[in-house]
Chain A
Amino acid sequence: GAVVSQHPSWVICKSGTSVKIECRSLDFQATTMFWYRQFPKQSLMLMATSNEGSKATYEQGVEKDKFLINHASLTLSTLTVTSAHPEDSSFYICSVSPPGQGLSGQPQHFGDGTRLSIL
């Protein structure tokens, strides 16, 4: 069964709207979750690392004021795209790694992604 639940799966909204995407770890507590973005015909690019109880770590070039990340519990991280514009249209995917296996043995489990279309 699914290890990671991501919601919603598809969002279409007007420019200027803020959109919240949820990522839930279903099978284990996750102190760290990751948010990726994928543009059409491109690979996944890490946007930020979500840390439970502390600030997220953003990759270079990702605006932290535009992409707000909240990791309020050990099973839930949210990504809010604030004042979204058409260039923010993309496929957003979150991932988690199970704890306790050592970094070598840790696979990444991904949500099904959220397709965001800004009109």
Chain B
Amino acid sequence: KQEVTQIPAALSVPEGENLVLNCSFTDSAIYNLQWFRQDPGKGLTSLLLIQSSQREQTSGRLNASLDKSSGRSTLYIAASQPGDSATYLCAVRPRGTGNQFYFGTGTSLTVIP
């Protein structure tokens, strides 16, 4: 069964810093990987989707990379802002097991003004 792990579990940085969130998964046979943001008590907002054939995706200050063979993805946030404070989740869609996603444990980010 696919297992998804995120490191660190929590991160606190001063405003303006660039930061990297890590996601690792045990089975490299995936269709895609998606990064989400979740604010406290809220649902999920999709940030970036990387297909299995892609190496990275960019949206504004966010850049996500995928190294499928090593089972890793990173989310890079440039020039962090207090509004970026949230929990960031990565999820993978495995091949051959249906359409569901398996979620990581999440990284709780706090950006200090």
| A residues neighboring B (CB under 8 Å) | 6, 32, 34, 36, 42-46, 49, 57, 91, 93, 95, 97, 103-113, 115
Q: Please, how many residues of chain B have a CB less than 8 angstroms from a CB on the other chain? A: 27
- Chain B residue numbers with a CB within 8 Å of A57 are 98
- Chain A residue numbers with a CB within 8 Å of B42 are 112-113
Q: Would you give the shortest CB distance from A62 to chain B, in whole angstroms? A: 12
- Chain B residue numbers with a CB within 8 Å of A110 are 36, 43-46
Complex: how many Å from CA A109 to CA B47?
Answer: 11
B69 within 8 Å of A by Cβ?
A: no
Complex: how many Å from CA A34 to CA B99?
Answer: 9
Given contacts A57-B98, A111-B43, 9 further A-B contacts (CB under 8 A): A34-B101, A43-B106, A97-B99, A103-B95, A105-B32, A107-B32, A107-B46, A108-B93, A115-B41
